């Protein structure tokens, strides 16, 4: 068991190395600029435009974190309202059920017209994508808290606020992390789209700009950075969940 845990990094590392070798082989066989070799992409990324891509990545991650944080806050507030009041649940959740299935990308033109081309439409769209997922998964997790836990809290004379803080919020963390994982992929895709409109700094703008200049090496560099950033966030949520659930 200990041996397995010690070498748990080995399988994903080998998979990544295999992926890069496969890409290298395809690039060698195709011999076209549209598929540059990964070694060239990574070399150029590290030597030529690391600073620029770093700045773009920071800007994009800032937008993602702001949108996700607002969505988590909104989702938790809705879930808590639903747990403590049936009336609130019956008022809020039918609206969430109606709005959740709407593809959020369809709202992009409306959001751009309403909020302009600044930071707010990008953050708002990420908020929209993650909020419904958070509101639903947090509500379900809080409703699944065993009655016995609540009874123990009440027997100690707890207030609703103490129950929220010490019971319902911690109980919903694994579900919130699950919701985050589900919505993060879509959030990154939408971020890419929004950053292609009137944006100077951002991974979407960086990749689109490289594409327009037919700089495929740079474009692939941006894609790799975006993939690594997304993968790292997924890995980070896994680490938090493992630490939290003591697996």
Partner 1 sequence: MLSLTNVSFTYPNSSLPVLQNISFEVSGVCAVLGPSGCGKSTMIKLCAGILTPDAGNVLLYGKPINPKEINVGLIPQDGGLLPWLTVEENTALGQKIKHQNNKAKVSQVLERLGILALKDCYPGQISGGQKQRVTVARALCMDPSLLLMDEPFSALDANTREEAQDFLREITKHNYNITTLIVTHSVEEAAVLGTNILVMKKGRIIKILKNPLKGYNEPRRQNCFYELCDSLRCTMKDKQDVI
Tell me which residues touch partner 1 (CB under 8 A). 146-149, 151-158, 162, 166-167, 170-171, 173, 244-246
* 104 HSE (CA, 13 A, CB side): 23
Task: Mark 12-41 as b/e (b = at least 16 C-beta within 10 Å).
Answer: eeeeeeeebeebeeebeeeeeeeebbbeeb
- Beta carbon nearer to partner 1, 3 or 247: 247
- Beta carbon nearer to partner 1, 123 or 167: 167
DSSP structural state of residue 201: S
Question: Is residue 60 within 8 Å of residue 71, measured between CB atoms?
Answer: no
Can you tell me which residue has the tokens 């049936």?
86
Q: Min. distance of Cβ 164 from partner 1 in angstroms?
A: 12
Q: Min. distance of Cβ 31 from partner 1 in angstroms?
A: 55
- Beta carbon nearer to partner 1, 85 or 162: 162
- Beta carbon nearer to partner 1, 213 or 242: 242
Q: Min. distance of Cβ 160 from partner 1 in angstroms?
A: 12
Report the distance separating Cα 84 and Cα 37, nearest Å.
57
Torsion angle, alpha carbons of 127, 130, 136, 137, to 10: -130
Q: Min. distance of Cβ 88 from partner 1 in angstroms?
A: 18
- Beta carbon nearer to partner 1, 101 or 146: 146
Q: Min. distance of Cβ 158 from partner 1 in angstroms?
A: 5
Q: Let me know the angle formed at the C-alpha of 214 by 210 and 217, rounded to the nearest 5 degrees.
A: 65
């Amino acid at each position: 068991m200990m041996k397995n845990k010690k070498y748990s990094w080995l399988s994903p590392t080998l998979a990544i190395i295999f992926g890069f070798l496969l890409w290298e082989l395809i690039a060698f066989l195709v011999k076209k600029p549209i598929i540059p070799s990964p070694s060239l992409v990574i070399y150029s990324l590290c030597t030529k435009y690391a600073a620029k891509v770093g700045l773009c990545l920071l800007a994009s991650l800032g937008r993602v974190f702001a949108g996700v944080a607002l969505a988590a806050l909104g989702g938790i507030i809705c879930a808590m309202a639903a747990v403590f009041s049936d009336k609130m649940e019956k008022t809020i959740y039918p609206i969430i059920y109606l709005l959740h299935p709407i593809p959020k990308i369809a709202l992009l033109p409306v959001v751009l017209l309403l909020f302009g081309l600044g930071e707010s439409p990008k953050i708002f769209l990420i908020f929209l994508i993650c909020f419904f997922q958070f509101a639903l998964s947090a509500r379900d997790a809080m409703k699944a808290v065993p009655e016995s836990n609540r009874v123990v809290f009440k027997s100690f004379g707890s207030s609703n606020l103490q129950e929220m803080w010490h019971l319902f919020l911690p109980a919903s963390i694994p579900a919130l992390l699950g919701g985050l994982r589900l919505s993060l992929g879509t959030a990154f895709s939408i971020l890419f789209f929004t950053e292609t409109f009137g944006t100077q700094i951002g991974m979407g703008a960086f990749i689109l700009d490289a594409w327009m200049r037919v700089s495929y090496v740079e474009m692939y560099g941006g894609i790799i950075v975006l993939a690594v950033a997304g993968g790292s966030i997924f890995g980070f949520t896994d680490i938090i969940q493992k630490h939290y659930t003591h697996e």
